[in-house]
Structure 1
Amino acid sequence: MKTLAEIFEHTLHDIYYAENALVKALPKVASASKDAKLKKAVEEHLEETKGQVKTLDQVFKSLGLKPKAEKCDAIEGLIKETDGLIEEASGTALNAGLLAAAQAVEHYEIARYGSLREWAKTLGHDEAHKLLSEILDQEKAANNKLTNIAVESVNKP
Protein backbone atom coordinates (compact mmCIF):
# COMPACT_ATOMS: atom_id res chain seq x y z
CA MET A 1 0.00 0.00 0.00
CA LYS A 2 1.36 3.35 -1.02
CA THR A 3 -1.61 5.69 -1.09
CA LEU A 4 -4.33 6.86 1.26
CA ALA A 5 -6.89 5.26 -1.05
CA GLU A 6 -5.11 1.91 -0.77
CA ILE A 7 -4.89 1.97 3.04
CA PHE A 8 -8.53 3.08 3.18
CA GLU A 9 -9.66 0.14 1.06
CA HIS A 10 -7.43 -2.32 2.94
CA THR A 11 -8.77 -1.14 6.30
CA LEU A 12 -12.36 -1.45 5.06
CA HIS A 13 -11.69 -5.09 4.20
CA ASP A 14 -10.08 -5.54 7.61
CA ILE A 15 -13.00 -4.08 9.59
CA TYR A 16 -15.46 -6.05 7.45
CA TYR A 17 -13.71 -9.23 8.55
CA ALA A 18 -13.72 -8.00 12.16
CA GLU A 19 -17.45 -7.25 12.23
CA ASN A 20 -18.32 -10.61 10.68
CA ALA A 21 -16.05 -12.38 13.19
CA LEU A 22 -17.80 -10.55 16.02
CA VAL A 23 -21.20 -11.69 14.76
CA LYS A 24 -19.92 -15.25 15.31
CA ALA A 25 -18.14 -14.57 18.63
CA LEU A 26 -20.64 -12.40 20.54
CA PRO A 27 -23.21 -15.16 21.22
CA LYS A 28 -20.55 -17.06 23.19
CA VAL A 29 -19.74 -13.93 25.20
CA ALA A 30 -23.42 -13.31 25.97
CA SER A 31 -23.86 -16.92 27.01
CA ALA A 32 -20.83 -16.80 29.32
CA SER A 33 -21.90 -13.61 31.07
CA LYS A 34 -23.53 -14.07 34.45
CA ASP A 35 -24.46 -10.37 34.82
CA ALA A 36 -27.92 -9.65 33.38
CA LYS A 37 -27.08 -6.10 32.25
CA LEU A 38 -23.85 -7.19 30.57
CA LYS A 39 -25.57 -10.14 28.89
CA LYS A 40 -28.31 -7.85 27.56
CA ALA A 41 -25.78 -5.26 26.34
CA VAL A 42 -23.81 -7.94 24.47
CA GLU A 43 -26.99 -9.35 22.90
CA GLU A 44 -28.09 -5.87 21.83
CA HIS A 45 -24.66 -5.12 20.40
CA LEU A 46 -24.77 -8.38 18.45
CA GLU A 47 -27.87 -7.12 16.66
CA GLU A 48 -26.22 -3.74 16.14
CA THR A 49 -23.13 -5.47 14.74
CA LYS A 50 -25.26 -7.35 12.22
CA GLY A 51 -26.60 -3.97 11.13
CA GLN A 52 -23.07 -2.60 10.89
CA VAL A 53 -22.15 -5.40 8.48
CA LYS A 54 -25.07 -4.27 6.29
CA THR A 55 -23.95 -0.66 6.59
CA LEU A 56 -20.44 -1.68 5.52
CA ASP A 57 -22.03 -3.40 2.51
CA GLN A 58 -23.50 0.03 1.65
CA VAL A 59 -20.08 1.65 2.11
CA PHE A 60 -18.52 -0.79 -0.34
CA LYS A 61 -21.39 -0.20 -2.79
CA SER A 62 -20.98 3.58 -2.54
CA LEU A 63 -17.32 3.11 -3.51
CA GLY A 64 -18.08 0.75 -6.39
CA LEU A 65 -16.41 -2.14 -4.57
CA LYS A 66 -17.56 -5.64 -3.69
CA PRO A 67 -17.64 -6.36 0.04
CA LYS A 68 -14.58 -8.41 0.85
CA ALA A 69 -13.05 -9.49 4.14
CA GLU A 70 -9.32 -9.67 4.79
CA LYS A 71 -8.21 -11.49 7.91
CA CYS A 72 -7.91 -9.10 10.84
CA ASP A 73 -5.21 -10.31 13.21
CA ALA A 74 -6.21 -7.75 15.84
CA ILE A 75 -9.79 -9.01 16.18
CA GLU A 76 -8.60 -12.61 16.07
CA GLY A 77 -6.32 -11.86 19.03
CA LEU A 78 -9.06 -10.10 20.97
CA ILE A 79 -11.47 -12.99 20.37
CA LYS A 80 -8.81 -15.53 21.40
CA GLU A 81 -8.16 -13.56 24.59
CA THR A 82 -11.88 -13.51 25.36
CA ASP A 83 -12.15 -17.26 24.78
CA GLY A 84 -9.32 -17.73 27.27
CA LEU A 85 -11.18 -15.65 29.85
CA ILE A 86 -14.29 -17.75 29.38
CA GLU A 87 -12.26 -20.90 30.04
CA GLU A 88 -10.18 -19.60 32.95
CA ALA A 89 -12.31 -17.11 34.91
CA SER A 90 -15.43 -17.47 37.01
CA GLY A 91 -17.65 -15.41 39.29
CA THR A 92 -17.12 -11.68 39.43
CA ALA A 93 -13.76 -12.05 37.68
CA LEU A 94 -15.47 -13.55 34.63
CA ASN A 95 -17.96 -10.71 34.27
CA ALA A 96 -15.29 -8.05 34.83
CA GLY A 97 -13.00 -9.77 32.34
CA LEU A 98 -15.71 -10.13 29.71
CA LEU A 99 -16.66 -6.50 30.08
CA ALA A 100 -13.03 -5.41 29.76
CA ALA A 101 -12.61 -7.64 26.71
CA ALA A 102 -15.74 -6.14 25.14
CA GLN A 103 -14.37 -2.66 25.75
CA ALA A 104 -11.05 -3.64 24.17
CA VAL A 105 -13.01 -4.59 21.04
CA GLU A 106 -14.96 -1.33 21.15
CA HIS A 107 -11.76 0.69 21.50
CA TYR A 108 -10.26 -1.12 18.51
CA GLU A 109 -13.38 -0.45 16.46
CA ILE A 110 -13.50 3.20 17.52
CA ALA A 111 -9.90 3.64 16.39
CA ARG A 112 -10.55 1.93 13.05
CA TYR A 113 -13.82 3.70 12.28
CA GLY A 114 -12.37 7.05 13.31
CA SER A 115 -9.56 6.63 10.78
CA LEU A 116 -11.84 5.26 8.08
CA ARG A 117 -14.29 8.11 8.50
CA GLU A 118 -11.60 10.76 8.18
CA TRP A 119 -9.97 9.02 5.23
CA ALA A 120 -13.36 8.84 3.48
CA LYS A 121 -13.81 12.57 4.03
CA THR A 122 -10.32 13.37 2.75
CA LEU A 123 -10.85 11.17 -0.30
CA GLY A 124 -14.18 12.83 -1.10
CA HIS A 125 -16.32 9.76 -0.40
CA ASP A 126 -19.25 11.62 1.13
CA GLU A 127 -21.66 8.69 1.38
CA ALA A 128 -18.99 6.46 2.93
CA HIS A 129 -18.10 9.27 5.35
CA LYS A 130 -21.73 9.54 6.47
CA LEU A 131 -22.17 5.78 6.90
CA LEU A 132 -18.85 5.31 8.71
CA SER A 133 -19.74 8.20 11.03
CA GLU A 134 -22.97 6.40 11.94
CA ILE A 135 -21.08 3.23 12.83
CA LEU A 136 -18.48 5.20 14.80
CA ASP A 137 -21.26 6.82 16.83
CA GLN A 138 -22.75 3.39 17.56
CA GLU A 139 -19.39 2.04 18.72
CA LYS A 140 -18.85 5.02 21.02
CA ALA A 141 -22.34 4.55 22.48
CA ALA A 142 -21.68 0.83 23.04
CA ASN A 143 -18.45 1.67 24.85
CA ASN A 144 -20.25 4.21 27.05
CA LYS A 145 -22.94 1.64 27.88
CA LEU A 146 -20.26 -0.86 28.90
CA THR A 147 -18.56 1.76 31.09
CA ASN A 148 -21.86 2.43 32.86
CA ILE A 149 -22.45 -1.28 33.44
CA ALA A 150 -18.93 -1.63 34.83
CA VAL A 151 -19.46 1.23 37.28
CA GLU A 152 -23.01 0.29 38.27
CA SER A 153 -22.68 -3.46 38.74
CA VAL A 154 -19.85 -5.51 37.27
CA ASN A 155 -16.85 -3.86 38.94
CA LYS A 156 -18.17 -4.34 42.45
CA PRO A 157 -16.10 -6.50 44.84
Structure 2
Amino acid sequence: MEAKTTLKKEPAKKNAAKDLKDLFEDSLKDIYWAEKALVKALPSMQKNATDEKLKTAIEKHITETQMHVERLEECFNSLGKKAQAKKCDAMQGLLDEGKSIMEETEPGAIRDVGIIAAAQKVEHYEISTYGTLAAYAKVLKEEVCLKNLLATLDEEKKCDGTLTKLADTTLNSKARS
Protein backbone atom coordinates (compact mmCIF):
# COMPACT_ATOMS: atom_id res chain seq x y z
CA MET A 1 0.00 0.00 0.00
CA GLU A 2 1.32 3.40 -0.95
CA ALA A 3 1.77 5.99 1.76
CA LYS A 4 -0.17 9.17 1.17
CA THR A 5 1.89 12.31 1.08
CA THR A 6 0.33 15.56 2.02
CA LEU A 7 1.53 18.41 -0.11
CA LYS A 8 1.31 21.86 1.31
CA LYS A 9 2.00 25.30 0.05
CA GLU A 10 5.05 26.90 1.60
CA PRO A 11 4.21 30.12 3.39
CA ALA A 12 6.21 33.12 2.21
CA LYS A 13 8.67 34.69 4.62
CA LYS A 14 8.12 38.28 5.73
CA ASN A 15 10.83 39.58 3.39
CA ALA A 16 9.84 37.37 0.43
CA ALA A 17 10.23 38.74 -3.09
CA LYS A 18 7.07 40.44 -4.25
CA ASP A 19 8.03 41.02 -7.87
CA LEU A 20 10.72 40.19 -10.45
CA LYS A 21 12.95 43.06 -9.35
CA ASP A 22 12.96 41.75 -5.76
CA LEU A 23 13.75 38.22 -6.98
CA PHE A 24 16.48 39.57 -9.26
CA GLU A 25 18.15 41.52 -6.44
CA ASP A 26 17.86 38.55 -4.06
CA SER A 27 19.39 36.24 -6.67
CA LEU A 28 22.25 38.70 -7.23
CA LYS A 29 23.02 38.54 -3.50
CA ASP A 30 23.08 34.75 -3.74
CA ILE A 31 25.48 34.53 -6.69
CA TYR A 32 27.62 37.31 -5.20
CA TRP A 33 28.16 35.13 -2.12
CA ALA A 34 28.82 32.13 -4.38
CA GLU A 35 31.47 33.92 -6.43
CA LYS A 36 33.22 35.26 -3.32
CA ALA A 37 33.24 31.75 -1.83
CA LEU A 38 34.64 30.38 -5.07
CA VAL A 39 37.51 32.92 -5.02
CA LYS A 40 38.48 31.38 -1.66
CA ALA A 41 37.98 27.74 -2.74
CA LEU A 42 39.70 27.69 -6.15
CA PRO A 43 43.28 28.06 -4.81
CA SER A 44 42.86 24.81 -2.86
CA MET A 45 41.68 23.03 -6.02
CA GLN A 46 44.67 24.43 -7.89
CA LYS A 47 47.09 23.33 -5.16
CA ASN A 48 45.66 19.80 -5.16
CA ALA A 49 45.75 19.44 -8.95
CA THR A 50 48.82 17.80 -10.48
CA ASP A 51 48.26 18.30 -14.21
CA GLU A 52 49.88 21.55 -15.37
CA LYS A 53 47.12 22.35 -17.89
CA LEU A 54 44.51 21.90 -15.17
CA LYS A 55 46.48 24.11 -12.77
CA THR A 56 46.70 26.77 -15.49
CA ALA A 57 42.97 26.54 -16.24
CA ILE A 58 42.15 26.97 -12.54
CA GLU A 59 44.57 29.91 -12.26
CA LYS A 60 42.84 31.60 -15.20
CA HIS A 61 39.45 31.00 -13.63
CA ILE A 62 40.58 32.48 -10.30
CA THR A 63 41.30 35.73 -12.16
CA GLU A 64 37.99 35.52 -14.03
CA THR A 65 36.08 34.83 -10.81
CA GLN A 66 37.57 37.94 -9.23
CA MET A 67 36.26 39.83 -12.27
CA HIS A 68 32.85 38.19 -11.80
CA VAL A 69 32.74 39.61 -8.27
CA GLU A 70 33.60 43.06 -9.63
CA ARG A 71 30.91 42.81 -12.32
CA LEU A 72 28.32 41.87 -9.71
CA GLU A 73 29.39 44.87 -7.62
CA GLU A 74 28.87 47.02 -10.73
CA CYS A 75 25.37 45.51 -11.08
CA PHE A 76 24.50 46.40 -7.50
CA ASN A 77 25.86 49.91 -8.06
CA SER A 78 23.77 50.36 -11.23
CA LEU A 79 20.70 49.33 -9.21
CA GLY A 80 21.55 51.93 -6.55
CA LYS A 81 22.17 49.14 -4.03
CA LYS A 82 25.11 48.28 -1.80
CA ALA A 83 26.74 44.99 -2.85
CA GLN A 84 25.46 42.44 -0.37
CA ALA A 85 26.06 38.71 -0.14
CA LYS A 86 23.49 36.17 1.01
CA LYS A 87 24.73 32.65 1.70
CA CYS A 88 24.17 30.42 -1.30
CA ASP A 89 23.32 26.95 0.02
CA ALA A 90 23.73 25.40 -3.44
CA MET A 91 27.29 26.70 -3.87
CA GLN A 92 28.18 25.73 -0.31
CA GLY A 93 27.04 22.18 -1.09
CA LEU A 94 29.03 22.08 -4.32
CA LEU A 95 32.17 23.37 -2.60
CA ASP A 96 31.75 20.85 0.23
CA GLU A 97 31.41 18.08 -2.34
CA GLY A 98 34.55 19.29 -4.12
CA LYS A 99 36.49 19.17 -0.85
CA SER A 100 35.21 15.65 -0.20
CA ILE A 101 36.27 14.52 -3.67
CA MET A 102 39.81 15.77 -3.02
CA GLU A 103 39.90 13.98 0.35
CA GLU A 104 38.59 10.75 -1.18
CA THR A 105 41.04 10.52 -4.09
CA GLU A 106 44.77 9.87 -4.27
CA PRO A 107 46.89 12.71 -5.65
CA GLY A 108 47.50 12.41 -9.39
CA ALA A 109 45.26 11.81 -12.38
CA ILE A 110 42.35 10.38 -10.36
CA ARG A 111 42.22 13.46 -8.12
CA ASP A 112 42.59 15.69 -11.19
CA VAL A 113 39.49 14.17 -12.84
CA GLY A 114 37.65 14.47 -9.52
CA ILE A 115 38.58 18.15 -9.37
CA ILE A 116 37.32 18.58 -12.94
CA ALA A 117 34.03 16.88 -12.06
CA ALA A 118 33.58 19.11 -9.01
CA ALA A 119 34.53 22.23 -10.98
CA GLN A 120 32.10 21.39 -13.77
CA LYS A 121 29.25 21.00 -11.30
CA VAL A 122 30.07 24.52 -10.10
CA GLU A 123 30.26 25.81 -13.68
CA HIS A 124 26.90 24.27 -14.59
CA TYR A 125 25.29 25.86 -11.53
CA GLU A 126 26.80 29.22 -12.47
CA ILE A 127 25.76 28.88 -16.12
CA SER A 128 22.15 28.28 -15.14
CA THR A 129 22.21 31.11 -12.60
CA TYR A 130 23.77 33.67 -14.93
CA GLY A 131 21.43 32.65 -17.75
CA THR A 132 18.42 33.17 -15.49
CA LEU A 133 19.72 36.47 -14.13
CA ALA A 134 20.41 37.74 -17.66
CA ALA A 135 16.83 36.88 -18.64
CA TYR A 136 15.55 38.84 -15.62
CA ALA A 137 17.84 41.80 -16.40
CA LYS A 138 16.56 41.86 -19.98
CA VAL A 139 12.91 42.00 -18.89
CA LEU A 140 13.72 44.60 -16.22
CA LYS A 141 15.67 46.66 -18.77
CA GLU A 142 18.73 46.68 -16.52
CA GLU A 143 21.26 47.19 -19.31
CA VAL A 144 24.42 47.45 -17.17
CA CYS A 145 23.51 44.25 -15.37
CA LEU A 146 22.59 42.49 -18.59
CA LYS A 147 25.94 43.34 -20.20
CA ASN A 148 27.86 42.15 -17.12
CA LEU A 149 25.82 39.00 -16.63
CA LEU A 150 26.17 37.97 -20.28
CA ALA A 151 29.95 38.56 -20.19
CA THR A 152 30.23 36.33 -17.12
CA LEU A 153 27.92 33.71 -18.63
CA ASP A 154 30.20 33.52 -21.68
CA GLU A 155 33.29 33.02 -19.49
CA GLU A 156 31.58 30.31 -17.45
CA LYS A 157 30.65 28.43 -20.64
CA LYS A 158 34.23 28.71 -21.94
CA CYS A 159 35.62 27.43 -18.65
CA ASP A 160 33.28 24.45 -18.79
CA GLY A 161 34.47 23.73 -22.34
CA THR A 162 38.11 23.93 -21.27
CA LEU A 163 37.50 21.48 -18.43
CA THR A 164 35.69 19.07 -20.75
CA LYS A 165 38.56 19.21 -23.23
CA LEU A 166 41.15 18.56 -20.50
CA ALA A 167 39.22 15.57 -19.22
CA ASP A 168 38.51 14.14 -22.67
CA THR A 169 41.95 14.61 -24.21
CA THR A 170 44.19 13.24 -21.46
CA LEU A 171 43.08 13.06 -17.88
CA ASN A 172 40.20 10.58 -18.00
CA SER A 173 42.45 8.06 -19.82
CA LYS A 174 45.29 8.58 -17.32
CA ALA A 175 42.91 8.05 -14.41
CA ARG A 176 41.68 4.74 -15.84
CA SER A 177 44.94 2.93 -15.01
What range is the shorter-chain TM-score in?
over 0.9
Which residue in the other structure is 1:55 paired with? 71
Equivalent of 1:134 in 151, 159, 162: 151
| Structure with greater proportional helix content | 1
Counting only pairs closer than 5 Å after superposition, residues 57-96 of structure 1 correspond to structure 2 as 57-90=73-106, 91-96=108-113
Q: In structure 2, the residue corresponding to 1:102 is in which secondary structure? A: helix
| Paired residue total | 157
Q: CA deviation at 1:95?
A: 1.0
Q: CA deviation at 1:94?
A: 0.9
Q: Does 1:118 align with 2:135?
A: yes
TM-score for the superposition, normalised by structure 1:
0.97
Which residue in the other structure is 1:11 paired with? 27
Q: Which has the larger radius of gyration?
A: 2
**Please, which runs of 5 or more residues in structure 1 have no aligned partner?**
none
Which residue in the other structure is 1:109 paired with? 126
> 2-side partners of 1:154 and 1:73: how far apart?
30
**Please, which runs of 5 or more residues in structure 2 have no aligned partner?**
1-16
Q: In structure 2, the residue corresponding to 1:155 is in which secondary structure? A: helix
Q: CA RMSD in A?
A: 0.8
> 2-side partners of 1:68 and 1:148: how far apart?
35
Q: Could you list the per-position Cα deviations for residues 15-74 of structure 1 after superposition, in whole angstroms to 9, with x for gaps in the alignment?
A: 000000000000000000111111110111001101111111111111111100000001
> 1-side partners of 2:43 and 2:105: how far apart?
18
Q: CA deviation at 1:92?
A: 2.5
Q: Give 1:89's aligned amino acid.
A: T
Q: CA deviation at 1:101?
A: 0.4
Q: Give 2:155's aligned amino acid.
A: Q
TM-score for the superposition, normalised by structure 2:
0.86
Q: Does 1:46 align with 2:62?
A: yes
Which gives a bigger RCO, structure 1 or 2 (Cα 8 Å, sep 6+)? 1
Which residue in the other structure is 2:114 paired with? 97
User: Displaced runs of 4+ in structure 1, greater than 3 A?
Assistant: none
Q: Give 1:133's aligned amino acid.
A: L
